[in-house]
Structure 1
């Protein structure tokens, strides 16, 4: 894999830390800004909404820009939003900064996803995606728990300052590592924006995006409210929250790495085996979350399964959007973040109406719906060409 791909993953690490860190900070933000835990949890939805809106708009706006300029511009805006967030005394301003930071993150990720797939051979999109998303999974392993510890020691604002500082080395790496050396399949100009948007009519792309959104929605519904599950449902001390986040992060890293090796050539196997296991895992978590050891074990297992299934489905989005070389990354970003917006919002409602385990039951329901839809759709979202790599053009 090219060095530039790992430099992009470094920036994704900074952004992933920001996106996931609220899982360990929601109670402190709620107390510090005098809002409910459910309301503070909506900051995750705000970030996801910004990602949904920002991905296609930023990708369309920057599609003719040099990749390095677009990436650096988005990263600079992202860092500035975190500085404002660290300084604001009001929840409404913090909410707005999350939306704007997400727009910047969306633009970055959309361009990065498209760039990553041009850095590698056409049949290695899954591997490239695994490297890029390793930045996100490493954020859950190291960045998010470190942010939770930093927030516990110095207050939640210190975590926002830390994310802003993380953007500095990421920007330096992109400025020096991402050049014009992406793989181009032809010297002919790419398709028009209208032609790329027309790809959204393809059933294969729509099904892959829908399944990715459902699985990611379930993951975010449970993960956003992991801190109160650990402290309130399981009755563990607050210091156990970072450990739970580390376990989930380790699992997500393993899941993305395994799926990256399998999803290019055996996507049906990954989805057909891991999806039912993911559903059973959420059901088990809902039944055993009041017991510390089963809770922590299941957090690890669900990290593996959720990211293995989720990353495989997003890889299928990129394959299905092969006719949209500049907008395909935006479609993948939208699929990820429709779920990331809806999941915490539905989870917050379930938390208020059902209780502490409400978000886990939401995760089970969304995953179950995805499984029901996936079974008859496997051949559609994972067609195989005569070479067996699944890298056939989108219809």
Structure 2
């Protein structure tokens, strides 16, 4: 695996830390900037919206840029938004920096995925994708807790400064490790890439990615009250559950990287069925403290094994449009990351209790299985029809 792919993963780690750490900084931001907790919480929504809208849009706008140039520009913008965020006393300006940071992060991830898959052999896209996404899982394991600790000790502004500092080494490393290239006059146009995206297989992959990621973040968002209210475990052990989920997600990405190129259909089928069964069993047995910690690891592993494999399949499905494939894959995952917790919250508010997110996760994975199974059946039927008519 080229060293540049690991460099890109380091930058994704910094950006993942920024995206996820905000949940622990909301009270401090609300107090410091004299806004309500819900208003401060909108910073998270702003980042998610920026990722959804920005991923395909920014990828499209940077289509003709040399990839190293695009990566460096996105990194600089991301870094500067955190510097401004750390200095500002204006909540509207902080909100604007979160949207801009999300646009830069989305653009970097889209171009980074295209770059990583372009640096490896055509049959190694899954492994390259898993290495890049390991940056997100490491952010869950180490970056987010570290951001929370820094925020508790020195305030939320210090956490923003820390993310800005984390972005400096990747900038230097990208400058040195990612091959420089002049703009290719024969590079596919935006219209060409958009045409290449109009494949039923890619559309199915994007829908599946949104559903599976929605299921993942539906339960992950409410894991703390599951631990404290359903399993009746001390709040001091919530970080342990979150850590196990993060470690599991890292293991799942590694598993996806091993099989995503050689046996993707088998991994997606078996992994999705196991994921569905796991969410149902988790919901039924969450009152047992040991079970909660076991399933935090297992479901994290299964979720990211299936999710990372789906991202790799987006590049196999749209090999003629790598930039926009990465952009739309990023957008699909963030649609799921935003919709899943919202659906889980609605189920909780309906009076189902804190087991509700796991049941919603199970329903989303079941929907993914139906969609994927139907698409596979249609594809095989068309193949059989073509074989009989030729």
Instruction: Report TM bin, short chain.
Output: 0.7 to 0.9
Q: CA deviation at 1:17?
A: 1.3
Q: Which of 357, 361, 367 is residue 363 of structure 1 equivalent to?
A: 361
Q: Which of 197, 209, 213 is residue 212 of structure 1 equivalent to?
A: 209
Higher-Rg structure is: 2
Corresponding position of 1:172: 172
Q: CA deviation at 1:264?
A: 0.7
Task: State the alpha-carbon separation in 2 of the partners of residues 311 and 54 from structure 1.
Answer: 20
Corresponding position of 1:372: 370
Corresponding position of 1:200: 197
Task: State the alpha-carbon separation in 2 of the partners of residues 272 and 25 from structure 1.
Answer: 38
Q: Which of 264, 268, 271 is residue 265 of structure 2 equivalent to?
A: 268
Answer yes or no: is 1:148 the counterpart of 2:129: no
Q: Deviations over 1:350-387 (max 9, x none)?
A: 343344344333322212211211223247789xxxxx
Correspondence 1:59-98 to 2 at 5 A: 59-87=59-87, 93-98=93-98
Contact conserved, 2:68 with 2:181, CA < 8 A, in 1? no
Answer yes or no: is 1:336 the counterpart of 2:333: yes
Task: State the alpha-carbon separation in 2 of the partners of residues 291 and 156 from structure 1.
Answer: 35
Q: Which runs of 5+ in 1 are unaligned?
A: 383-395
Change (3 A) 1:86 1:357: farther
Q: CA deviation at 1:210?
A: 0.4
Change (3 A) 1:120 1:233: same
Q: CA deviation at 1:26?
A: 5.7
Q: CA deviation at 1:54?
A: 0.9
TM-score (norm 2): 0.87
Change (3 A) 1:245 1:90: farther
Contact conserved, 1:205 with 1:381, CA < 8 A, in 2? no
Contact conserved, 1:23 with 1:223, CA < 8 A, in 2? no
Q: Which runs of 5+ in 2 are unaligned?
A: 381-390
After superposing the two structures, state which structure 1 stretch, 70-79 or 43-52, moved more.
Answer: 43-52
Correspondence 1:279-298 to 2 at 5 A: 279-298=276-295
Corresponding position of 1:102: 102
Aligned-residue CA RMSD (Å): 2.8
Contact conserved, 2:8 with 2:112, CA < 8 A, in 1? yes
Q: CA deviation at 1:28?
A: 6.3
Q: CA deviation at 1:299?
A: 0.7
Contact conserved, 1:14 with 1:139, CA < 8 A, in 2? yes
Q: CA deviation at 1:258?
A: 0.7
Task: State the alpha-carbon separation in 1 of the partners of residues 61 and 93 from structure 2.
Answer: 26
Corresponding position of 1:224: 221
Corresponding position of 2:9: 9
Task: State the alpha-carbon separation in 1 of the partners of residues 276 and 157 from structure 2.
Answer: 36
